[in-house]
Amino acid sequence: MHEVDLIFTLTGGLTAALVLGYITQQLRLSPIVGYLLAGIAVGPHTPGFEADIAIAQELAEIGVILLMFGVGLNFHIRELLAVRGVAIPGAMLAAGVATLLGMAAARLHGYEWSTGIVFGGAISVASTVVLIRVLSDNRDLHTRAGHIAVGWVVVEDLLTVAALVVLPAVLGGQQSGLQGAAMAMGIAAFKIATLVAVITLAGARFIPWLLEHVAATRSRELFTLAVLVIALGIAVGSAKLFGVSMALGAFLAGTIVGRSEFGLRAASEALPMRDAFAVLFFVSVGMLFNPTTIFTSPWLLAAALAIVLIAKPLTIWAAVMLLGHPRQDATSVAVSLAQIGEFSFILAALGRQLGVLPETAINTLVASAIVSITLNPLLYRLIEPFERWLVRRGRAGIGSDDADSLEASAPSHRAIVVGYGPVGQTVTQLLLDNEIEPTVIELNLDTVRRLKAFDVRAIYGDAMRPDVLMEAGIKRADNMILTSGASHVDEEIVRRAKELNPEVTILARSQYVRELPKLHRAGAEDVFSAEGEVALAFTVRILERLGATGEQIDRERARVEATFRNG
């Protein structure tokens, strides 16, 4: 019976998430809203199909582990250091203000201080998923404001990780009073320090060694399995051996893998599994939501929304301005962070496990997330019209000369070379000779290491993965050259590259003439076939020996190329 319930819960939850996620995506909203609504639809508080909430929450535990592992994988200290002057003090200030206001709102509602701490912390942290999506959709991810916002949310994530460690020691300990809390925190700090030391010293050597040997098998399945075993194994080991949260163990595992040469490939290979369980995590949160309880505590919901949508953004705006950044950057950062998401629910789940966060508070958090995530992209699109209105009114200048300094300082021409065989080597060298910056995507780790040693930017990963293309800079690339000649693979690479950057010019190589039309239909502008080019060279040489004029040869070349293009 348990197996049947498991299948029904998986099928019903994922089906509802697919349908409602697709609808919200079409409405240009975050699919997280759809996943939460799917949880409400299959939950026990709405009519119709009812999934097993206990099973959903068990599956959601895996989702939390993989989400935290993904946060660790994508934690780049250089991004934080680049904007540390504004992100670190600003994020700590804004998170502190939001937490205190949330604690006050919870206390006025009649909750204990322990509930207020968790509730305030949950509404103080923005969703990284929503932030990246909003910035990418508006082409602001690689601007100065985008970098500040990303660094800011990294600090919030780290503060939340710290909260996941400290809260069980403070709220879940048996000791009472300040002395008992201090003792509990001291014991927790010792366990955490031991765990960090073990993972940093032993894991930093063993994990890359393991991944390198698995990668040498050239089996994608084994590599994906190795990544999942590392994430789940360290998470479970952290809980069983050191008595700390599995979320912390998964985060530390992600940071170790992310710092290795396999970080990008690990992120791309584990992405489908992570996304599937992350969807189940959001669905399980939605299943906890009881719409009727909102009417019993509308004041708490109004207070939470006021903090998320007004108080915290105003604090962020003031902090960025006081730290010397332009008003437009301050507005963009403030609005992009005016939402809550996955970490809020992870904190809420912890509070529920500790017995300090009641159902009404959880419902308020879910409702606040749905409203804030829905409004966030709409509000962000209003920034530019609002700035133009201010300029017309003569109230302030935007400072257009420094609106996108990161992009202005970047090289004017970029190209992505997929594959570093004989053709890829020649193309890369010619690009360098002509002052065009190449980025090579290659699945041979030794080749990547060799290129980096010669200061050539190289990415270890599969070009079929969108995150690999993003890391290679597809959004800013002028050209992409596919050198392998594996047309069945290149077709999918072309499609995904065009989805990420419709303006990029794609040149591809094909072994056979018959494969040219498929690559053209996929979106490649120019496709060259080895057998076609040889045949054309033969034809040109024959025409030259027969005394054909240059115009005749050019006309014949154009006719043959048109024949190749049309198949």
Of 196 and 441, more confident: 441
Of 559 and 484, more confident: 484
- My answer on whether 111 and 23 are in the same domain is yes
Identify the band that residue 402 occupies on the pLDDT scale cut at 50, 70 and 90: very low
Q: Supply the pLDDT for residue 179.
A: 63
Q: Mean pLDDT across the stretch 412-430?
A: 86
How many residues are recorded in the chain? 567
How many domains does one find in the chain?
2
- My answer on whether 348 and 414 are in the same domain is no
Q: Mean pLDDT across the stretch 3-9?
A: 75
- My answer on whether 301 and 433 are in the same domain is no
Which sign does the torsion angle of CA 551, 557, 563, 565 carry? negative
Which three-class secondary structure state does DSSP give residue 414? Answer: strand
Given a contact cutoff of 8 angstroms between Cβ atoms, the answer to whether 473 and 500 are in contact is no
- My answer on whether 420 and 380 are in the same domain is no
Alpha-carbon distances, residue 233 vs 70, 119, 239, 249 (angstroms): 15, 30, 10, 9
Residue 390 in any domain: the answer is no
In tens, the pLDDT along 510-525 reads 877 777 888 888 888 8
Task: Report how far residue 469's alpha carbon sits from residue 485's, in angstroms, rounded to the nearest whole number.
Answer: 18
DSSP 435: T
Residue 468 in any domain: the answer is yes
Ranking 180-184, 207-211, 217-221, 259-263 by mean pLDDT, the lowest is 180-184
CATH classification at residue 381: 1.20.1530.20
Given a contact cutoff of 8 angstroms between Cβ atoms, the answer to whether 451 and 385 are in contact is no
Which three-class secondary structure state does DSSP give residue 415? Answer: strand
Given a contact cutoff of 8 angstroms between Cβ atoms, the answer to whether 513 and 534 are in contact is no
Given a contact cutoff of 8 angstroms between Cβ atoms, the answer to whether 256 and 204 are in contact is yes
Residue 464 in any domain: the answer is yes
- My answer on whether 346 and 461 are in the same domain is no
For residue 408, pLDDT over 50 is answered with no
How many C-beta neighbours within 10 Å does residue 227 have? 29
Q: Mean pLDDT across the stretch 515-536?
A: 79
Last residue of a domain, one of 333, 353, 385: 385
- My answer on whether 419 and 317 are in the same domain is no
In tens, the pLDDT along 324-378 reads 888 888 999 999 999 997 788 888 888 988 889 998 898 899 889 888 988 888 8
Q: Supply the pLDDT for residue 565.
A: 55
Alpha-carbon torsion angle 561, 563, 566, 567, nearest 10: -120
- My answer on whether 309 and 234 are in the same domain is yes
Of 215 and 564, more confident: 215
- 501 lies in which domain range? 408-566
Largest CA-CA distance found in the chain, in angstroms, rounded: 101
Of 403 and 319, more confident: 319
As to burial, measured by CB atoms within 10 angstroms (0-12 exposed, 13-18 middle, 19+ buried), residue 446 is exposed
Given a contact cutoff of 8 angstroms between Cβ atoms, the answer to whether 337 and 125 are in contact is no
Q: Mean pLDDT across the stretch 546-566?
A: 70
How many C-beta neighbours within 10 Å does residue 186 have? 11
Q: Supply the pLDDT for residue 93.
A: 94
Which sign does the torsion angle of CA 288, 293, 298, 300 carry? negative
Q: Supply the pLDDT for residue 121.
A: 93
- My answer on whether 111 and 249 are in the same domain is yes
For residue 317, pLDDT over 60 is answered with yes
Task: Report how far residue 552's alpha carbon sits from residue 546's, in angstroms, rounded to the nearest whole number.
Answer: 11
Task: Report how far residue 530's alpha carbon sits from residue 536's, in angstroms, rounded to the nearest whole number.
Answer: 10
Q: Supply the pLDDT for residue 1.
A: 43
- My answer on whether 416 and 356 are in the same domain is no
In tens, the pLDDT along 108-156 reads 998 998 899 999 999 999 987 788 778 867 777 667 888 888 888 878 8
Q: Mean pLDDT across the stretch 163-186?
A: 67
Percent of the chain with pLDDT strictly greater than 70: 88
For residue 79, pLDDT over 90 is answered with no
- My answer on whether 380 and 415 are in the same domain is no
Q: Supply the pLDDT for residue 532.
A: 67
Residue 394 in any domain: the answer is no
Q: Mean pLDDT across the stretch 541-547?
A: 77
Q: Mean pLDDT across the stretch 485-496?
A: 81
Q: Supply the pLDDT for residue 78.
A: 67
Phi, psi of 546 (to 5 degrees): -85, 0
Which three-class secondary structure state does DSSP give residue 457? Answer: strand
Residue 401 in any domain: the answer is no
Q: For the chain, what is the mean pLDDT?
A: 81
Name the residue type at position 557.
Answer: R
CATH classification at residue 443: 3.40.50.720
Q: Which of 341, 309, 330, 307 is CA-nearest to residue 148?
A: 330
Q: Are strands 526-529 and 479-482 parallel, antiparallel or unpaired?
A: unpaired
Residues 6+ positions from 427 with CB-CB distance below 8 Å: 417, 438, 481, 483
How many C-beta neighbours within 10 Å does residue 178 have? 8
Q: Supply the pLDDT for residue 151.
A: 83
- My answer on whether 414 and 530 are in the same domain is yes
For residue 398, pLDDT over 60 is answered with no
Task: Report how far residue 450's alpha carbon sits from residue 455's, in angstroms, rounded to the nearest whole number.
Answer: 9
Residue 445 in any domain: the answer is yes
Residue 275 in any domain: the answer is yes
For residue 388, pLDDT over 90 is answered with no
Residue 395 in any domain: the answer is no
Given a contact cutoff of 8 angstroms between Cβ atoms, the answer to whether 468 and 459 are in contact is yes
Phi, psi of 368 (to 5 degrees): -65, -40
Alpha-carbon distances, residue 312 vs 9, 124, 215, 385, 536 (angstroms): 37, 8, 45, 22, 65
**Which token pair is 23?**
């609808």
pTM of the model: 0.64
Last residue of a domain, one of 385, 420, 440: 385
How many C-beta neighbours within 10 Å does residue 173 have? 15
**Which token pair is 91?**
């994020």
Given a contact cutoff of 8 angstroms between Cβ atoms, the answer to whether 56 and 283 are in contact is yes
Q: Supply the pLDDT for residue 531.
A: 67
Angle in degrees, CA 385, 86, 154, rounded to 5:
90
- My answer on whether 484 and 443 are in the same domain is yes
Q: Supply the pLDDT for residue 20.
A: 93
